[in-house]
Amino acid sequence: AMQRGSPSRARLVGIEGKTALVDRKGGIGWSLVYGIEAERDLATPWRRSGHFVAVEATYEIGRTWLLEATLGAARDRRERSDAATWALGIERALGDVMEIRFEVSGTDRGRPRWSTGLRWEVWPDHALLSIGYGASTGPARERQVALALTFEF
């Protein structure tokens, strides 16, 4: 992901995993989402910047719509702070392996942000490739373009 919004540009790389705890089979599904991130700007080398863990609930509406709600915790190593995290999202299937999604997310420490993107299931039930764009809702209007590979276990 590349973030813009300040005079310097930062690059952020993350590894995210998702473990299904309860399959949704006509009801609510529960998953554990976790990850680790590293970042650098033009003047510094790569370094681990944070990690997170969250519980995600999903609910399928028909065969093409999916609602998601996430609640978790994140650690920012640079700022030496912890934050409660949340997200609400909706996805629409565009066939068997492609989805479009919209999400609003935030922490207890700042303004929410929105994002939208496409997700492609490159390895059914195991790996997803996503590309997206998002922005914060605050006056700084920090923008982010992201390319993500997600593994599900």
Q: How confident is the model at residue 10 (pLDDT cuts 50, 70, 90)?
A: low
Which pLDDT does position 99 carry in this prediction?
Answer: 94
Please state whether the predicted TM-score (pTM) of the whole model is above 0.95.
no
List pLDDT tens digits, range 94-152. Answer: 998 999 999 999 999 888 999 999 999 999 888 889 999 998 887 777 888 888 887 77
Which pLDDT tens digit goes with each residue over 30-67?
A: 999 999 888 877 777 777 778 999 999 999 998 889 99
Q: Is the dihedral of CA 96, 100, 102, 103 positive or negative?
A: positive
**SS3 letters for 19-51?**
EEEECCCCCEEEEEEEEEEEEEECCCCCEEEEE
What are the E-state strand segments in 5-142?
10-22, 28-41, 47-61, 65-76, 81-93, 98-107, 113-123, 127-136
